[in-house]
Amino acid sequence: MGAINEYRGARSDHPKASRVRPNGGFLNLLRTAAMIAVLVGAGGSISLMFRVGRRNNSQILMVLFGMWVLSPFLVLLLATLVSKHWSVVTGTTLYSLMLVLTLGSLAIYGDVAFGPPRAKPAFVFLVVPVASWLLIAIVLPIASVISGRLSRRAQRA
């Protein structure tokens, strides 16, 4: 019999030991930081988008751009709601991805808003959400597959 570890009493030799969530600690801190970062990032991204588009007279276009810019952030927030039942590996990947995408988006949007003038700044506000969606669609399934393999390995051991 394996020793009881910090994962809600699951034994280390238990088949689902790698899938059980810890009671607290680093993962909860990472989750909290990621949630705050995504909320701040969404607000910052939309503010920077409005700053760049301040001379645009089309309110419909600004609303559409706003929804597009916010879409990756909203999906990440929704993913955190269901991530409570995900493995530790997949959850950690999600929270790390949330931080990376938020910081990357803000850095890129900030460069467009406060950097040298560009001929077509709207292009960045189209491409960054696409890249974010692609990264989410690639990274999370890979983490899930890796987590499943780790879980199966633990079952065989």
**Is 13 inside any structural domain?**
no
How much is the pLDDT for 127?
97
Whole-number average pLDDT of the chain: 85
Give residue 33's pLDDT band: very low, low, confident or very high (50, 70, 90). Answer: very high
Q: Domain limits at 130?
A: 21-156
- pLDDT digits over 48-76, tens only? 999 999 989 999 999 999 999 999 999 99
Cα–Cα dist 81/117, whole Å:
39
Following CA atoms 127, 133, 149, 87 in sequence, which dihedral angle do they give, to the nearest 10 degrees? 130
Low-confidence winner among 46-60, 61-75, 86-100, 136-150 (lowest mean pLDDT): 136-150
Give the residue with greater pLDDT, 57 vs 20.
Answer: 57
Determine, yes or no, domain membership for 111.
yes
pLDDT band at 8 (very low <50, low <70, confident <90, very high): very low
Give the tokens for residue 131. 């890249």
Residue 109: pLDDT over 80: yes
* Residue 9: inside a domain: no
Residue 14 domain-assigned?
no
| Residue 100 structure tokens | 């990376």
Q: Looking at 53-156, list the stretches that DSSP marks H as alpha helix, in order from N- to C-terminal side.
A: 59-82, 88-114, 122-156
Domain count, the chain: 1
**Has residue 102 been placed in a domain?**
yes
Q: Would 54 be classed as within a structural domain? A: yes
How far apart, in whole angstroms, are the C-alpha atoms of residue 157 and residue 155?
Answer: 6
Please check whether residue 92 lies inside any domain of the structure.
Answer: yes
Please tell me the predicted confidence (pLDDT) of residue 10.
44
Categorize the per-residue pLDDT at 25 as very low, low, confident or very high, splitting at 50, 70 and 90. confident
Give a yes or no: residue 28 inside a domain. yes
